[in-house]
């Protein structure tokens, strides 16, 4: 297998400008995400069936030709399990590739296995066993070894080869728009950033708190996510969720009391202790307190268990009649998301700016009428 390592803007422009209308482009990325909030791009792999290139973004300053290619509606971009790759392109270039044919979603629709891995797909389709030994490599380190580059090239070389049969089978079944819709939903969810003042609702066990304690959690969660975004640090490397919860619960108003929080490390206390104590004191000393509403849970509704089972039964029946996996159509998590929207819309909209999965695109086409027939208001 021959590939070219691209390290200049001119080489990138030459490649991208020569991918023709109606062509199919296999795409993959390599990235690192250990201590950062966002993925750090290390390599971009592109294969149009003729020329395979590995783009080194560390040496290129201008990506206009690439972003034009990735958003060209006349060129199908083929990914496998595109979620993280879409986030990479959103982070690095503020674009979402389109249209995207995801071979993992296609394989699931064809009942080849839910969340089928790339190596397994290649093995089943092409009877080729791939070496995945470089999957945990440091893609930001330079120079990249020939073993690393060969591994990266394989990810698009065989992807392009498994695409045609999957595409034609999906197209023959009339399901092509389902894949495109699903990818757009994935992209929308990746772009859906929660407002800092609402970040507290995602904290585990936040439902246990109320009043002053919940206001403290709200303030600390907002403070933490602002630091994470401005410094590109993963949230738990600032302070852990469990530490935030305990600070909100016990309300330490001095450094001495703060040191008693078990999940707050000495490093965290030295770095952020004064700010955390100040947040607690600001909330507790407020003369006109404004507390967020207590978080409600679905399990607190008497109707929840029966309603959830009815919706799960519908998903199973609809999935069977359409010969698709029920896990892809409607998981328990997605049903809970739907019920949260229907029964606690204001609380849902604190966390999300887009509708629930089950009310979107192809799922809505299949589930809207049967769901409406059994839905009850609590």
- Distance between CA 60 and CA 41 in Å, rounded? 12
28 is catalytic: yes
Q: How buried is 109 (Cβ within 10 angstroms: 0-12 exposed, 13-18 middle, 19+ buried)?
A: buried
| Selected catalytic residue, list 13, 30, 182, 268 | 30
Q: Which helix (H) or strand (E) holds 378?
A: none
DSSP labels for 210-244?
A: -HHHHHHHHHHHHHHHHHHHHHT--GGGT--HHHH
Q: Is residue 250 flagged as an active site residue?
A: no
What does the block give as tokens for 153? Answer: 């090239």
Question: Residue 30 catalytic?
Answer: yes
- 287 included as an active-site residue: no
Residues 21 and 42: their CA atoms lie apart, in Å, by 28
101 has which bridge partners?
78
> Exactly one of 3, 47, 118, 151 is catalytic; which is it?
151
What is the Rg, in whole angstroms, of the alpha carbon atoms belonging to the chain? 24
Catalytic annotation, pick one of 3, 15, 28, 167: 28
DSSP letters along 281-306, please? HHHHT-SS--PPPPPP-GGGSTTHHH
Q: Among this protein's residues, is 275 annotated catalytic?
A: no
Task: Note whether 42 and 155 are within 8 A (CB).
Answer: no
CA–CA distance from 166 to each of 92, 173, 326 (Å)? 29, 11, 20
E strands in the chain = 4-6, 24-32, 40-47, 52-55, 76-79, 100-102
From the list 13, 48, 87, 155, the catalytic residue is 155
- Catalytic-role residue among 48, 85, 102, 241: 85
Which of these, 14, 100, 84, lies nearest to 55 by C-alpha position?
14
Catalytic residues, by residue number, are 28, 30, 85, 151, 155
């Amino acid at each position: 297998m021959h590939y070219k390592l691209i390290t200049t803007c001119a080489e990138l422009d030459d490649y991208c400008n020569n991918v023709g209308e109606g062509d199919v482009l296999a795409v993959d990325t390599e990235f690192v995400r250990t201590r950062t909030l966002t993925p750090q791009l290390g390599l971009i792999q592109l294969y149009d069936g003729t020329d395979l290139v590995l783009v080194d973004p560390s040496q290129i300053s201008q990506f206009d030709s690439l972003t034009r290619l990735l958003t060209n509606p006349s060129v199908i971009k083929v990914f496998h399990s595109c979620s993280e790759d879409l986030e990479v392109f959103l982070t690095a270039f503020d674009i979402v590739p389109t249209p995207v044919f995801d071979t993992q979603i296609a394989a699931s629709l064809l009942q080849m296995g839910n969340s089928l891995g790339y190596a397994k797909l290649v093995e089943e389709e092409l009877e080729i066993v791939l070496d995945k030994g470089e999957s945990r490599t440091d893609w930001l380190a330079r120079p990249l070894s020939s073993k690393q580059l060969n591994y990266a090239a394989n990810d698009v070389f065989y992807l392009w080869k498994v695409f045609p049969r999957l595409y034609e089978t999906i197209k023959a079944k009339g399901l092509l728009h389902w894949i495109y819709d699903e990818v757009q939903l994935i992209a929308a969810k990746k772009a859906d950033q929660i407002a800092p003042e609402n970040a507290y609702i995602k904290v585990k066990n936040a439902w246990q708190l109320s009043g002053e304690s919940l206001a403290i959690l709200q303030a600390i969660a907002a403070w933490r996510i602002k630091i994470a975004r401005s410094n590109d640090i993963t949230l738990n490397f600032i302070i852990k969720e469990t530490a935030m919860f305990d600070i909100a619960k016990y309300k330490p108003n001095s450094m001495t009391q703060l040191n008693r929080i078990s999940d707050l490390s000495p490093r965290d206390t030295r770095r952020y202790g004064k700010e955390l104590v100040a947040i607690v004191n600001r909330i507790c000393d407020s003369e006109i307190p404004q507390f967020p509403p207590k978080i409600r849970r679905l399990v607190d509704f008497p109707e929840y268990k029966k309603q959830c089972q009815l919706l799960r039964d519908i998903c199973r029946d609809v999935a069977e009649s359409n010969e698709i996996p029920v896990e892809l159509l409607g998981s328990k998590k997605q049903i809970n998301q739907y019920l949260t929207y229907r029964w606690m819309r204001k609380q849902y909209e604190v966390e999300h700016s887009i509708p629930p999965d089950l009310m979107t695109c192809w799922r809505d086409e299949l589930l809207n009428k049967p769901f409406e027939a059994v839905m009850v208001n609590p």
